[in-house]
Amino acid sequence: MVALDCANATEDYLQDKALVVSGATIADDRIADASVPLKAIIAA
């Protein structure tokens, strides 16, 4: 993950920011699925 865009989603912004800073690698299909909370992706 190298960038993020979160309109009206403060919680998602904070989670995404942590992912960008950590240099996390997440499969495209997982991060693109808006029905899955970012907390669940991070915890997995």
39 CB contacts (<8 Å, ≥6 apart)?
15
pLDDT at 1 over 60: no
pTM of the entire predicted model: 0.50
pLDDT of residue 4: 65
pLDDT digit string, tens, across residues 3-43: 666 667 777 777 777 777 888 788 888 888 888 887 787 77
